[in-house]
Structure 1
Amino acid sequence: MADALATCDMPTVIEGVRAARGWSQGELAQALTYSQSWVSRVVNGQQSLTVSQVHDLARRLEIPLHLLRFGGTGDGPDTGATEAPGAPGCTREPNEVGTRTPGAGAREEPAASGRNPVRRRDPARPVTGGAATVPGRPSGGQEVHHGINETTAPALRSITGGQRRMDATSPARHLLPSAVAHVHLAEQMLGNARGTVFHTELSAAASEASGFAAWLSADLGDMGSARMHYRTAVVRARQAGMRLLDVYMLGSLASFEIDVAEDPELGLGLVQEAEHVLGPSAHPTARAWLACIGALAHAGLGDRVSAARAIRRAEREADSPDNAQPPWPWVFSFDRAKVAGYRALVGVRLRSPHDARAAFAEAVAPAPRNVKQSALLKVELASAHAEAGDVDEAFRLAQEALTTGVRFDSERVVGRVRSFRRRYRGPRAHCVEDLDGRLSSLVTGIPISG
């Protein structure tokens, strides 16, 4: 450990602290507030670190900064070396911080590895001089790569977060142009970050931006654009090496194919791929959510047994004592009430109205903050009431959903109401004629006569 501190061999330092404290690598990542995949790359010497990242990791692991010497010998600064900010007497060598050296002497990283060539040296060999440089940062301390630095990814993610919050109260057609422009910006920043330590975080930010653009496109009925953005979101999540983000985007694409594109077979294939990526020991929230999407796919294929099995699996995961705090990118834990909501949707698709209505009643969680999501649920509940013969209540709910769809120009909601009306084969009551009149008015643009 003393040698590792003296040469700023951060992989050895971090692994030593982990072993001394008896942590798993997941617990280490949690303590550092970085993703487990990123920590794994650092420990394995595959992820270079900036000076500021070294300082941050040292602070989180409670390692006194004066013990870390960026290539120094432990007796003071080497001749010609510059002092690291915030760590008097800590010298920095003229290459990346925190990467292991497989052999002695300097060498060039082969171009076939996909990395930029980086000079490496034996950690025991003293530095003879030169100012410090880290990826994306010249010796003068000014950022290169068109302004990419540690604030770029958080800034992009903050913009996506703000757009998501506006989705609850704004029509998708108002948000989509800025969301698509934001996707282009994120992709540009990602390209500029190639070869820097910021590439991973920017891949994740680009994934989130594309995922939101996909959601808006689906809301407007633009299936081709929605599918394109979802696939980009999956690719970027995979490039980021963040398993849960990868699963989240795959599951979102699966949900789109099942619920919007009405292709449960394709959706089920995507769910199975996501389950393979997720693995058996993942967080219960992720497993419960994915099981519910799988249940919808099975229900769409008419497989009652598999749908019921998936719902029971989701309930077990939701009841797990480890399900209290959801992992990013999930915001809320996936509890029993949310599983009940999916059980209700399964009941609608399997034409089991009484089961569906009972499940809707069990889903006692607060109404969604997003009114468009609430409208979609009303249409599903309307279908359950219609199947049970409660026509007046079914069409009342459909009318409320249609009002929301028109107000927010949501083709997804309006289309769902149209689909509900096409499936209805019951008596032609006044409430049915009223809905037909409104749907006709939307097509012709002619107001309903008084």
Structure 2
Amino acid sequence: MAAALATCDMAVIVEEVRLARGWSQGELARIVGYSQSWVSRVVNGQQSLTVDQVREVAERLEVPIHLLRFARATAPGRGAEPTRRREFGRVVAAAAVTLPAMAAMSVDIDENTAAALRAITGSQRRLDAMAPARDLAGAAASHLDLITTTLERSGRTPYAPQIAAAASEAAGFTAWLHNDMGDAGSARHHYRASIAYARRAHNSLLTAYMVGSLAAFEIDSGDPELGLSLTREAGRHLGPDAHPTARAWLACVRALGHSSIGAAAAASRDIALAEAGVNRRDNTDPPWPWVFAFDQAKVAGYRALTGVRLRRPHDARTAFREAFDGAGPAGKQGAVLQVELASAHADAGDVDEAFRLATEALGVGVRMRSERVIGRVRRFRRAYRGPRARSVREFDERLPELLSGS
């Protein structure tokens, strides 16, 4: 089942449900309310399903329908949208549907299990850029439950450490979603779980990544001293021979902590260390769990953030331009960076541009239902003490309308 979810093979998923329940194909057909020949075509990948059919079959197979966030209901009077097997399978992999009987399935745990589970988390992480965290949180929690169940079943097998590593990544992603939803308590809980699973996996690099992620979260939440102490712990896990990406990233997290307490010299040293790290010849493919290369543009983004915190708006704006090379940041994380850039423009006296960026970021936050983005925008407005220009008045008028949905 895990392999089928990871490879987006809906035919296998349906067939495995049938086998797990001990049904014949005819019994499956009676339960879903279709002919046996129709079911056979679905299982063989020869039958297209409409969105309404997917919902209907899911309900009759007791698949939790609230986890299937693949489309809105078809409007009355409109033709149903065809959903091909590969399209629905892609959504299943992203949502990591956990069926009621899945835990009882006699699935062999082998060298492919952890990779399959990690592939599902990877699909969810990619969806995070375009979907509200609240739409993913339930599926992420169910997937984490599946991994932890699989981990307990793995016992003392050679595959247990790999599955523990998959659990760590899934817990870290779940923490990220709760952070975006403004649920700091749940985010901390899942970050701590991610660290515990990484230690259980005996993976020092993964442990450093998760401790560093918690450090970044605490710095971002207003406790830079705690965050800096966590970066020191992460550094001990990394060791002197760690991959340049890991060392550069952790140096950037330290820079955020130092700049948040006004330690400009320490922040500059950290950024310099990160820049030297990314320029090393052996900084090629990023190690897991990093997804993208950590390059000069990424370091420039952190340099911009430190500039904002140190109230150096001109340095911050220059670094932002270097980080994005003329292209505006996108998605929820892009909106967070837009608020930071808005702060730099406000400090530089460019009020109109500052509030234009804040308004755009707020629109993204409302559309994506991101409490993290909305909270950043509101914090920016509370901190602004400059002249009440026309752009400021327009923002103040627009704010309640966007937040109330009117």
Task: Mark yes or no: TM-score above 0.5.
Answer: yes
The answer to whether the 8 A contact 2:245-2:283 is kept is yes
1:327 is aligned to 2:327: no
Determine the structure 2 residue equivalent to 1:160: 121
Provide the C-alpha distance between the structure 2 equivalents of 1:237 and 1:368, rounded to a whole number of angstroms: 35
Cα deviation, 1:42-63, whole Å, max 9, x if unaligned, reads xxxxxxxxxxxxxxxxxxxxxx
Which of 217, 220, 224 aligns to 1:264? It is: 224
- Point out where structure 2 has 5 or more consecutive residues left out of the alignment: 1-104
CA contact (8 A) 2:249 2:294 kept: yes
Give the unaligned 5+ runs of structure 1: 1-143
Aligned to 1:356: 316
Task: Give the fraction of aligned pairs with identical amino acids, expressed as a percent.
Answer: 59
Query: Equivalent residue of 2:294, what SS?
Result: coil
For residue 375 of structure 1, report the CA deviation from its aligned partner. 0.7
1:281, CA displacement in angstroms?
Answer: 1.6
2:400 and 2:213 map into 1 onto residues whose CA distance is 32
Question: Quick check: 2:245–2:286 contact (8 Å CA) kept in 1?
Answer: yes
Q: Partner residue of 1:36?
A: none
Q: Does the 8 Å CA contact 1:167/1:370 hold for their aligned counterparts?
A: no
2:331 to 352, 359, 371: 371
The aligned amino acid for 1:191 is E
Cα RMSD after superposing both structures:
1.9
**Structure 1 residue 270 displacement after superposition:** 0.7
Counterpart contact for 1:291–1:313, Cα < 8 Å: yes
Task: State the match for 2:149 in structure 1.
Answer: 188
Residue 314 of structure 1: aligned partner: 274
Question: Aligned pair in 2 of structure 1 residues 413, 255: CA closer, same or farther (>3 Å)?
Answer: same
Q: How does 1:1-400 map to 2 (within 5 A)?
A: 147-259=108-220, 261-364=221-324, 371-400=331-360
The separation in 1 between residues aligned to 2:189 and 2:323, in whole angstroms, is 33
- Contact 1:169–1:370 (8 Å) recurs in 2: no
> For the residues of structure 2 that align with 1:430 and 1:369, how far apart are their CA atoms?
26
Greater fraction helix? 2
Q: CA deviation at 1:149?
A: 2.8
Deviation of 1:145 (Å):
7.8
- In structure 2, give the amino acid aligned to 1:408: M
Distance 1:367 1:281, change over 3 A: farther
Partner-residue secondary structure (3-state), 1:322: coil
Could you give the per-residue CA deviations for residues 402-441 of structure 1, whole angstroms, max 9, x where no partner exists? 1100110000001000010011001111211222223223
| Residues 158 and 216 of structure 1, relative CA distance in 2, 3 Å threshold | same
TM normalised by structure 2 equals 0.72
Which whole-Å deviations, capped at 9, do the CAs of 1:141-190 have from their partners, x for residues lacking one?
xxx98643333212211111111111111111100011011111111111
What code does the residue aligned with 2:219 have? Answer: I
Q: Which amino acid aligns with 2:282?
A: D
For normalisation by structure 1, the TM-score amounts to 0.65
The Cα shift of 1:370 comes to: 5.4
Q: What CA distance in whole angstroms lies between the structure 2 residues aligned with 1:244 and 1:368? A: 32
Residues paired across the two proteins, number: 303
Residue identity opposite 1:299 in structure 2:
S
Q: Give per-residue Cα distances to partners, 1:208-236, cap 9 Å, x unaligned.
A: 11011001000000000011111111111
Separation in structure 1 between the aligned mates of residue 252 and residue 122 of structure 2, nearest angstrom? 25
User: CA separation in 2, counterparts of 1:167 and 1:147?
Assistant: 30
Q: Distance in 1 between matches of 2:117 and 2:330?
A: 22
* CA spacing shift, 1:238–1:390, aligned 2, 3 Å: same
1:423 to 377, 383, 390: 383
In structure 2, the CA distance between the partners of 1:345 and 1:322, relative to structure 1 (3 Å rule), is same
Q: For residues 210 and 446 of structure 1, do their structure 2 counterparts lie closer, same or farther at Cα, with a shift above 3 Å needed?
A: closer
- The structure that has the greater radius of gyration is 1
Deviation at 1:310, TM superposition (A): 0.7
Q: Distance in 1 between matches of 2:325 and 2:159?
A: 39
